[in-house]
């Protein structure tokens, strides 16, 4: 044990969630290690994200409130850290069809952000785009990192977490997205929603960010003075295939270099053509050349809300309160939790909107005991799962 590295905090996952968590935590501690199985930060789902920041339109509800709160926070945050790639140039939201336009019109009384009519769409000044690699590099530039490092074993000994018998930490924070192999609790269920984004060069100068069925970024100058660089994203796939294959695709390192088993070259090529077609339905792009393709699996919970905080220890909680199996409601603070183990997960396709806000909330919870809202806590998942156990037991007994 004496040869092991020891930290106060180890964060697993160097996407936008883990990078944001490391950044906010570094204000309180200099004993932090950020680990990722990939060779670079933002090399998984975060790298494959369109990384557009745009309002959620709709009638009032808790999820919309969360997105609006997070969008305000993240927009200010990216400005404060002086991200070079952050472009707060607004976004033009264009309805997909007449039915969609009717929905837009019905949402007008409930807009959380100022907008104006523009051509076929609605222009929101709050809209932005950011480069995933640039911002994650910026957030973690002063953080101790261990990249290309896969964790196969986690043990708890004497109030310390031991990773691969090599690294010790007082606190472990899992920001691993769709790869939940390190989380053994059955109620913690994540769906992998695969997506692809492409970077292109074009002779068309795209003057603003757009969103219709896909998102198109405002153009920036390329190395060739006659061409511009534009990002287009992102597609959505849920693969209904052998779980072992899907798990391989989620868990493999450097997926964008190594061929995925279900996200084949055929799908990659087809999705690239689809994105270009959808982008051309927004604005005519001339002399298009695809210069980069990224794929990754977004992590989505069953109710689309993120998960934040400590995990409930289901086995110990059932032992402590056997009547949980009958669906009896027990307050969260009474349940047994896995001490010094935290998660930030389930940010779905809005990772660059949600993650800075959620990371700050998590760090304030860890350091200053700030309460985490029920709608984004891990408790809500446990509560629903626990109620289902009674029905399962009833079926077995019958």
**Cα gap 297→301, rounded to integer Å:** 13
Q: How far apart are CA 76 and CA 78, in angstroms?
A: 6
Q: What is the CA radius of gyration of the chain?
A: 22
Domain boundaries 1-51+131-190+301-398, corresponding CATH code = 3.50.50.60
What's the CA gap between 278 and 288, in Å, rounded?
A: 13
Average pLDDT for consecutive 10-residue bins of the chain (398 residues)?
82 98 98 96 92 95 97 98 95 95 94 94 96 97 97 94 97 96 91 92 97 95 92 85 62 70 81 97 97 92 94 93 79 92 96 98 98 94 84 45
How confident is the model at residue 397, as a pLDDT? Answer: 39
Strand partners, 139: none
Residue whose structure tokens are 């009958």: 326
Query: Which segments of 119-254 are extended strands (E)?
Result: 121-124, 128-129, 144-146, 154-157, 160-163, 167-174, 191-202, 209-211, 215-216, 220-221, 228-233
Q: Which two tokens stand for residue 61?
A: 């509800």
Report the alpha-carbon distance of residue 393 to residue 398 in Å, rounded. Answer: 9
pLDDT at 390: 65
Q: Which pLDDT value is given to residue 277?
A: 97
Q: Which of 369, 338, 343, 379 is nearest to 358 (CA)?
A: 343
Q: Tokens representing 153?
A: 């074993």
The residue whose two tokens read 């501690």 is 29
How confident is the model at residue 242, as a pLDDT?
59
Query: Would you state the pLDDT for residue 127?
Result: 97
Phi and psi at 3, nearest 5°, equal -85, 0
Burial of 206 (0-12, 13-18, 19+ CB in 10 A): buried
Which pair of structure tokens corresponds to residue 253? 């390192």
pLDDT of residue 249: 73
Give residue 360's Cα distance to chain centre: 15
**Residue 256 in contact with residue 295, Cβ under 8 Å?**
yes
Residue at token pair 């940010």: 347
Cβ neighbours for 215, distance < 8 A, ≥ 6 positions apart: 50, 52, 54, 91, 209, 231, 232, 233, 234
Give the per-residue pLDDT at 225.
84
Q: What is the pLDDT of residue 265?
A: 82
Give the tokens for residue 328: 């009896």
Domains of the chain, by residue range, sit at: 1-51+131-190+301-398, 191-300
The helix/strand count (H/E) of the chain reads as 9, 19
């Amino acid at each position: 044990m004496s040869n092991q590295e020891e930290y106060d905090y180890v964060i697993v996952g160097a996407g936008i969630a883990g990078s944001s968590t490391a950044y906010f935590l570094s204000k309180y501690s200099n004993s932090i290690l950020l680990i990722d199985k990939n060779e670079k930060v933002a090399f998984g789902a975060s790298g494959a994200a369109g990384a557009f920041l745009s309002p959620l339109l709709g009638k009032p509800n808790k999820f919309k409130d969360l997105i609006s709160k997070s969008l305000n926070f993240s927009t200010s945050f990216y400005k404060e850290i002086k991200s070079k790639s952050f472009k707060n140039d607004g976004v033009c939201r264009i309805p997909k069809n007449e039915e969609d336009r009717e929905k837009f019109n019905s949402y007008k009384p409930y807009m959380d952000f100022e907008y104006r009519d523009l051509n076929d769409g609605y222009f929101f000044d709050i809209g932005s785009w950011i480069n995933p690699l640039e911002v994650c590099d910026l957030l973690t530039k002063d953080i101790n990192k261990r990249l290309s490092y896969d964790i196969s074993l986690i043990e708890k000994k004497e109030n310390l977490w031991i990773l691969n018998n090599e690294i010790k930490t007082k606190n472990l924070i899992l920001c691993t997205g769709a790869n939940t192999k390190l989380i053994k609790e059955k109620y913690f269920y994540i769906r992998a929603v695969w997506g692809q984004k492409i970077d292109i060069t074009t002779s068309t100068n795209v003057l603003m960010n757009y969103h219709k069925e896909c998102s198109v970024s405002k153009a920036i100058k390329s190395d060739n003075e006659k061409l511009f660089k534009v990002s287009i994203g992102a597609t959505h796939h849920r693969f209904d295939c052998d779980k072992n294959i899907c798990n391989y695709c989620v868990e493999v390192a450097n997926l964008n270099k190594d061929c995925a088993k279900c996200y084949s070259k055929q799908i990659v090529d087809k999705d690239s053509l689809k994105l270009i077609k959808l982008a051309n339905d927004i604005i005519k792009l001339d002399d298009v050349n695809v210069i980069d393709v990224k794929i990754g699996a977004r992590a989505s919970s069953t109710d689309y809300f993120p998960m934040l905080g400590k995990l409930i220890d289901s086995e110990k909680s059932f032992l402590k309160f056997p009547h949980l199996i009958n669906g009896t409601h027990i307050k969260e603070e009474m349940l047994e939790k896995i001490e010094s183990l935290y998660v930030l997960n389930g940010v779905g396709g809005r990772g660059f909107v949600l993650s800075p806000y959620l990371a700050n909330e998590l760090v304030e919870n860890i350091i200053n005991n700030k309460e985490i809202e029920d709608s984004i806590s891990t408790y809500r998942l446990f509560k629903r799962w626990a109620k289902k156990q009674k029905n399962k037991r009833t079926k077995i007994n019958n």
